[in-house]
Amino acid sequence: MSTENQLFSAVDALLEQVAQDDLPAPAERKRLREAAGLSQGQIATALDARREAVGNWEAGRTEPRPPKRAAYARLLEGLAARFPAPDADVPAAAPAPVVPEVFTAPPPEPVPAPAAVPASRPEAVTGGASRSAASSRRPGAKRAVAKKTTLAAAADPRFENGPLAVVDVDDCGQVSAYCVGGLVLDVPAKSIPALIDWTLTEARLGQARLHRNGRDADPILVLTAASLDRYGLPTALSEEERNASRLPDSHKVVKQITKAGLQLTQRGLGPWARVFREPEGSMRRCVQLCILPWNALDTREWGKKDDPQPLLTMHPADLAQYLGLYAQRVMTPRGTTATTGLELMAALRPPTRAEKDPATGEFKRAFNDDALTQVHDMVECEVPDEHPVLKGRFARHHQRTPAEMLMEEPYDWCRPLTDEECMVPYLVAVDINMSFAAAANGLTVGLNGPTHLTGNPTFDATLPGSWLVDLSHVDLSRVRVNGRTVDGERLPSPFTPKGDRPEGPAWYATPTVAYAVELGFDVAPIEAYVRTRAGRYLDSWYKRLRDAYVETMADMGVTAGLGGREFLEAMARRKRVDPTMVLLETAIKATAKGGIGKLRQRSRGQVPYYEPYPALKRETWRPDIRAAVLANQRVGLHRKLMKTAAAADLYPTSIGTDAIVYPSPGPSPLDILPHTPEGKPVPGTFRLGVSPGMVKHQGTQTVLWAEEQFEERGGVFNISNLIKTDPSAGEGE
């Protein structure tokens, strides 16, 4: 006779068999997880699976197998009961009361584009109502809301009018707040304090948190020149005010803010200002002002480098649409694109969470293991010259050597053309899409403070950090790749930014030393500073920016499925499709590049040399992480250079950050990039495409033009960033 345990095992086996086909569609699996605020890693841990496996289940690439499949089905069934799919015909219900550790904003639902009305300006909506209206337009201007790029209405009723509004005054003196989707609100406020209170109580602006342990984004008001004049603010800052990046405390508007019981942060009332009241319990009451005439939106980041007019003269409705799309795809702007890129890291990996004390039942703050949670001691070799830790260490203008300073930077390399290359008619430059972001993908970085290893430690590629090691013995002059010999003399060294062979011991980040091992050479570190707690901190940051970039490029007709020639044609015409998408592409790339740079922000002269400056107080001031990303970008680029040389006997003449110049018989990248006999790119080489890490055409020049440049400048110099079909193209994307 069967025992109870045997019977239960038999029943469990039947349930498992029944569950084999009892899984929702892949997209629904992802929706349920996100609705519950769970990460793929959490589900993977619960099911004793790899995080990548959970991602494949949600993408439909693979299916879970027993016994994990039954457990996964049970999880999804429970989530479906708690988070049913929203009915498209029924308005989303209000969410449950917020508690610190479990709040997750429901996914947004699309709304149709607003219909145009014949009025001279958008139909206004009084107070915080949410009735859609058409935008007022300049004669002949495009509609602000295209069908494909219409922003979804916020499912959270607290933010039903979107993340931000552009405040402007029309010719009749009416103050209006232009929101996303063509919505316009009448603004009754007659002063800055009243405007802040109206935003906090009636406007229903803001954005739900990107992570369940994060915080909601504060609403943003973008003030135009006309609105500044209405509210008593100058339309331009004096030279002294520009240097201080703020109005003096004696200004009448600053006094109004103080008198009304509102507060400003220590940065004061500047281009990006935060005005707030004391929180009510756990609820923040803060509004961010983006003052457009004070250069809050730097045209080098948010607009066109060579033409600031499209951004500065943009209609308020168009500007709201542009910034609203950026907020939807990246996050609500927090200042410059670099600042926003850094804030995005913390928003996706919050340092703390609310944890319930089992003894008292009260919530307390706890740290997250996958985040940067505190400021750690810095290492001499990793910090810039002005850092306080170097005070008294070197002479004031001493130039630190590679043995004294970690010099992990992108390539800035060139070489003379050979006689054979001078006979080729063209130089073709290809550029890597969002190369820094791509280098961050999958990279393991340190999450805690440094541990000093001495006495010739053994190199461990799993420990992120800095290693003092001599790589001068690494000879790449004749190496074999995929069974073929590569002329390393025509390639830059992967160990220095200038491409020179190392001359002795130097500090390197872990990816650089690991690449030397990958090439088959012995390494013998002298000492090291490593981080024992590590993780892929930047993965979610990369994926957010990747999705934003790919979606924006798709809006301009550049999609992932295009072949080489079709891709080049789509890239050439993309800037004629939609001017707003062009600006958005620039802003997303600047966010990726600037976010990595902010990890080692330099002093801007706020304090004397060797004195602590504000950036050092951030948990995210981590020069070692920046060095690891740049090292990974450089060695990854060298790896592709080697495979391209082996596949096609093709060698670059110069490299500038992520722009690679090759001699070519024709003017197109298709004339040089190697392909298999089936017409596909050779694995491991450069590949045309829209995704980060793939390449696009940057420009073409003749060899004769290059020789003229060398003659004019008196020698060989790096021409990679001069070869541009589009002069406004960015460097180091």
> pLDDT tens across 675-708, in order?
998 888 999 999 999 999 999 999 999 999 999 9
Residues 6+ apart with CB under 8 A from 501: 472, 474, 493, 495
Same domain, 257 and 388: no
Indicate the number of domains in the chain. Answer: 4
pLDDT of residue 126: 44
399 pLDDT above the threshold of 50: yes
Mean per-residue pLDDT for 114-140? 37
276 pLDDT above the threshold of 80: yes
Rounded CA separation 628/615 (Å): 19
pLDDT of residue 59: 79
Same domain, 261 and 148: yes
Summarised one tens digit per residue, pLDDT across range 490-524 is 999 999 999 999 999 999 999 999 999 999 999 99
Please report where in the chains the tokens 């480098």 appear, as a residue.
305
Residues 6+ apart with CB under 8 A from 326: 333, 584, 587, 588
pLDDT of residue 646: 93
On the CB side of 518, how many CA atoms lie within 13 Å of its CA? 14
Q: Show which of 494, 520, 535 is a domain's final residue.
A: 535
pLDDT band at 87; cut points 50, 70, 90 = low
Tell me which residue range forms the domain holding 160: 125-335
Same domain, 460 and 591: no
pLDDT band at 726; cut points 50, 70, 90 = low
Q: Show which of 28, 52, 82 is a domain's final residue.
A: 82
Same domain, 33 and 135: no
Residue 268 lies in a domain: yes
pLDDT of residue 480: 84
Structural contact between residues 355 and 363, judged by C-beta atoms closer than 8 angstroms: yes
Residue 371 lies in a domain: no
Please report where in the chains the tokens 């769970």 appear, as a residue.
38
104 pLDDT above the threshold of 70: no
- DSSP letters, 381-430, are GGS-TT-GGGTTTS-TT----TTTS-----EEEE-PPPHHHHTS-EEEEE
Look up residue 109 and give its DSSP letter.
Answer: B
Rounded CA separation 384/622 (Å): 11
Nearest to 694, CA basis, from 511, 431, 443? 431
571 pLDDT above the threshold of 80: yes
Mean per-residue pLDDT for 212-235? 94
Same domain, 524 and 562: no
**Which carries the bigger pLDDT value, residue 255 or residue 105?**
255
Same domain, 506 and 469: yes
pLDDT of residue 302: 93
Same domain, 404 and 498: yes
Nearest to 105, CA basis, from 113, 116, 114, 94? 94
pLDDT of residue 292: 93
Same domain, 559 and 642: yes
Same domain, 689 and 546: yes
Residue 5 lies in a domain: no
274 pLDDT above the threshold of 90: yes
Residue 662 lies in a domain: yes
301 pLDDT above the threshold of 80: yes
117 pLDDT above the threshold of 80: no
Which residue stretches of 528-578 are H helix?
539-555, 564-573
Residue 6 lies in a domain: no
Same domain, 138 and 235: yes
Q: Show which of 335, 358, 392 is a domain's final residue.
A: 335
197 pLDDT above the threshold of 90: yes
- DSSP letters, 600-644, are TPPP-SSS-TTS--GGGGSTT--HHHHHHHHHHHHHHHHHHHHHH
Same domain, 158 and 261: yes
Average pLDDT, the chain: 85
Residue 531 lies in a domain: yes
Distance of CA 357 to the CA centre of its chain: 35
- Lookup: tokens for 612: 């602590």
Structural contact between residues 665 and 429, judged by C-beta atoms closer than 8 angstroms: no
Same domain, 261 and 395: no
Element (H, E) at 446: strand 445-446
Summarised one tens digit per residue, pLDDT across range 616-656 is 999 999 999 999 999 999 999 999 999 999 999 999 999 99
Residue 421 lies in a domain: no
How many Cβ atoms sit within 10 Å of the Cβ of residue 312?
15
How would you class 720 by CB atoms within 10 Å of its CB: exposed for 0-12, middle for 13-18, buried for 19 or more?
buried
* Range with lowest mean pLDDT among 41-45, 419-423, 673-677: 41-45
Residue 296 lies in a domain: yes
